[in-house]
Amino acid sequence: MEFNGEIPKFDYLITSPPYWNMLRKSRGGSDSVHKEREEKGLRQHYGESNRDLGNIENYDEYINKLGTILSNLKPLLRQGAYLTIIVQNMRDVDGRMRPIAWDLARRMSQDYWLQQEMIWCQDNKKLGIWGYPTTYVSNVHHHYCLIFQNRE
């Protein structure tokens, strides 16, 4: 394929954006991969840039900015092309479940057709006892693969 100065159009894009500011959230006192990385002196988040989606504090701002970025991919997609976004809902440190996948799917539906959702089960994650003994907090061992189609 010869490059003629135009950006080629894609038939399929896949991405796994930061799950809001999850990497900056405490995992409690239980053992976790996050804690293991900290003990080894490894990075706990991607960086300090204000352009990093993982550094946005406000949830609604995060959903809107991520949705805008992904909507701006439309010119790179052929008509009928697919975009898969891998995301996970998360529990915030205040105990509130943040439905990232569902809120992002609603936002993305302004620009794409939601065609399918698939579940990626991450069955190799450690179990934790988050919230014990004061409250119930489930482990999240799955991600949503949201599949959209460019129909315009």
Residue 11 scores a pLDDT above 70 = yes
Output DSSP code: residue 127.
Answer: P
Answer whether residue 4 is part of any domain.
no
Q: Does residue 51 carry a pLDDT above 90?
A: no
Residue 104 has pLDDT above 90, yes or no: yes
> What pLDDT does 44 receive?
59
Report pTM.
Answer: 0.73
Asked if the structure places residue 141 within a domain, the reply is yes
Asked if 96 and 25 count as a contact pair (C-beta separation under 8 A), the reply is no
Domains: count for the chain? 1
Residues 20 and 58 sit within 8 Å (Cβ to Cβ): no
**Predicted local distance difference test score (pLDDT) of residue 98:** 86
Whether residue 5 lies inside any domain: the answer is no
Q: Which residues, in sequence order, are CB contacts of 20 under 8 Å at separation 6+?
A: 53, 54, 56, 59, 62, 90, 98, 100
Q: Is residue 76 part of a domain?
A: yes
**Closest by Cα among 81, 112, 109, 63 to 10:** 81
First to last CA, the chain: 25
With respect to residue 2, please indicate whether it lies within any of the assigned structural domains.
no
Average pLDDT, the chain: 79
Q: Between residues 92 and 8, which one has the greater pLDDT? A: 8
Residue 55's identity, in one-letter code, is N
Q: Strand, coil or helix: what is 112?
A: coil
Percent of residues, the chain, with pLDDT higher than 90:
40
pLDDT tens, position by position, 106-125: 999 999 999 999 998 877 76
Residue 57, token pair as written in the block: 């504090």
Average pLDDT over residues 17-27: 59
Domain encompassing residue 131: 10-149
**Which tokens in the block code for residue 100?**
């990232």
CATH code, domain with 26: 3.40.50.150
Give the mean model confidence (pLDDT) for residues 43-63. 73
Q: Tell me, what's the pLDDT at 8? A: 82
- Give residue 97's pLDDT band: very low, low, confident or very high (50, 70, 90): confident
Residue 64 within any structural domain of the chain: yes
